[in-house]
Amino acid sequence: MFEKAVTLDLHPPIAPPVPKRAKIAVKAKRKILFLDPDEVIAVEARGNYVLLERTGGSELLRESMAAVAEKLREYGFVRIHRSAIVNASFVEEILNASSGESVLRVKGGREFPVSRTYKKNLRSLTPLWIGATSFQAS
């Protein structure tokens, strides 16, 4: 007798908003800081500690370089030396010496040596390399 009414959805559901990039929780002294990954420039080894360098200062943390490198990888950080991890978004250039050694320069002019062991990681700084076919990552 009665037919079922068919309703057409002319407005597809709105996609959920893209979540804002997660912050990094850093335990420093007697507090926990919530840092935007884009604030962190580099991490350097300091004996049994690491120095987390950021645009607004630095924090000395009791953590191993290996643990920090693993935790920060998904945020765009690249290990370039046994004592240095850099934020790829701060990298400005890589300088290659005739001796085969490399130095990585970040915004602000700070330079970090790149060891032969971690030189292959430089490829992960960006997915696109133009005119760098001769770049040797080994």
Q: What residue ranges define each of the domains in the chain, with the CATH number in brackets? A: 24-125 (2.40.50.1020)
Task: Supply the pLDDT for residue 28.
Answer: 86
Task: Supply the pLDDT for residue 43.
Answer: 98
- Measured distance CA(120)–CA(125) in Å, rounded: 10
Tokens of 61: 């943390």
Task: Supply the pLDDT for residue 58.
Answer: 94
pLDDT higher than threshold 50 for residue 138: no
In the block, tokens 């696109």 appear at 128
Sheet holding 102-106, edge to edge: 91-96, 102-106, 111-114
* Residue 46 CA: distances (Å) to CA of 15, 26, 65: 45, 17, 9
pLDDT higher than threshold 80 for residue 21: no
Q: Which residues have a Cβ under 8 Å from the Cβ of 119 and sit 6 or more positions away?
A: 80, 102, 136, 137, 138
pLDDT higher than threshold 70 for residue 18: no
**Between 99 and 67, whose confidence is greater?**
67
Tokens of 14: 């709105």
